[in-house]
Every structure is written in structure tokens, then in C-alpha cells.
Homo-oligomer: A and B are copies of this chain.
Amino acid sequence: MRDALVGAAFQLFLERGYEETTVDDIVALAGVGRRSFFRYFPSKEDVVFPDHERCLGDMTAFLSEEDSTDDPVQRVCDAARLVLRMYAENPTFSVQRYRLTKKVPGLRAYELSVVWRYERALADYLRGRSTGPRADTLRADVVAAAVVAAHNNALRSWLRSSGEGDAEKAVDHALGYVQRTFGSSPGGPVDERPEDVVVVVSRRGAPMWRVVQEIESAFGQN
């Protein structure tokens, strides 16, 4: 019944527009009562994002699981991939919703709130994994924001291209950039020759990102 309500709602949103569709219209098309609607969705906005609560729950559960990796940044990148997977499961629906959300400011605001909750879940995990005082909440917040921004950069490109192309590959590329910048096993398996020595020579005053690039390529991580 939940799926039927979502299906009916989107059919009407696309035909008439979001604002012009009432909950009564949706339940009439789905052939159920108002009370059934509100059992599943607190408001009309919630039917637009039927899977985010589940996904937030999955993310929290994933982050609280026993942790096999030593790299908290890789862990939050993997957590972000759960969101991508939710979108990629149903490309047509995701693209329709993306177009709808762009047009309706209220839905955009709703989406920003959801994104904020994902970001907090990642930051809370990173704060828990760090041991120092204030400086580490800073790093946690910045890394969480970077992960979300990179993920959403790739996700939005994919949605804009109507769900064409390989979303997972695009997100891997984007998260790889964040992992190389902040992580401890940047963007790939640990090197097989961990005791090799790398020497980097650089001019003082060179841009830091350029130095990091040099090092990455010396480390074979590019």
C-alpha cells in the first residue's frame, strides 16, 4: 500500500504539479483512506522522499557496526555510498523526483534538512572516532561536509543526465578525491611495498595542493 501511495502521488505530481495535488487526490487515486496515507507519511512532503528515513537508519546502523577498517574517512565514504545505492536502485523515480524538487522550494528545503541529517550522522561518527578535543570536531565536521559535497556533486551530475552513465563510478571518483585529501588509505588498497621510501622535493611557497598532488603520484595513488 505504501508503494501504491507513492506511485499515485508521483503520477499526480507529474500530471498536475505538486502544489496542485492534495492528499485527498492521492488517496482517491490509490483507492485508500486518508488515515492510511498518514499512517505511512506524516505529510505530503514525506511521500516525495519515501526512502530517506530507512536510509538514514541503515547509515546509522552501518556506522555503529564493528569496524574492520582502520580508516574512519573510508568508513564515512562507504556510508555515503548507501545513499547513492538508494538513488541508483530506481533511476526513473530518482530523476523524476530530482526535477520535481528543483521546481518546488518547500521540497528543496525538505531535502536540505535530510542532507543535513546525513552529514550529522557522518560527523558524529568521525567525532566518536577521534580522540582529541576541539581540533577534532573541526576535522570531523569538515570531512563530513566534504564527503557529502563530493557525493552530491556526482549524484547531481548523474540525475541531471537523466540517470545515464555509471553513477557508482562517478561517486567512487568523487569520494576518491576526498579520501586522498583526508584519508589514511587514500583511494585504494594499501600499497604492497609499505616500507618503500618516497622522497619529494618541492619549492617552499609551492601551492599545497600541488605538493599533495606530487606526493600522491609519488605514492602511486593517482
Q: How far is the CB of A152 from chain B (nearest CB, A)?
A: 7
A186 at the interface (CB under 8 A from B): yes
Chain B residue nearest to A145 in the complex (CB): B149
A213 to chain B, nearest CB (A): 11
Q: How many copies does the complex hold?
A: 2
Picked from B112, B141, B177, B195, the residue with its CB within 8 Å of the CB of A138 is B177
Give the number of residues in A that approach B within 8 Å (Cβ atoms).
61
> Which of A7-15, A59-67, A81-89, A198-206 interfaces with chain B?
A198-206
Q: Are A191 and B204 in contact (CB under 8 A)?
A: yes
**Interface contact B204-A208, CB-CB below 8 Å:** no
Q: Are B112 and A141 in contact (CB under 8 A)?
A: no
Q: Which residues in B have their C-beta under 8 angstroms from that of A212?
A: 208, 212, 215
* Residues on the B chain within 8 Å of A94, using CB: none
Provide the bound-state CA to CA distance between A201 and B186, in Å. 18
A177 with B209, Cβ < 8 A, contacts A145-B146, A149-B144 known: no
Residues on A facing B (Cβ under 8 Å): 71, 108-110, 112-113, 116, 134-135, 137-139, 141-142, 144-146, 148-150, 152-154, 157, 173-174, 177-178, 180-186, 190-191, 193-205, 207-212, 215-216, 219-221
9 A-B pairs whose Cβ atoms sit less than 8 Å apart in the complex: A138-B174, A141-B152, A142-B149, A145-B149, A183-B209, A184-B207, A195-B205, A200-B200, A208-B216
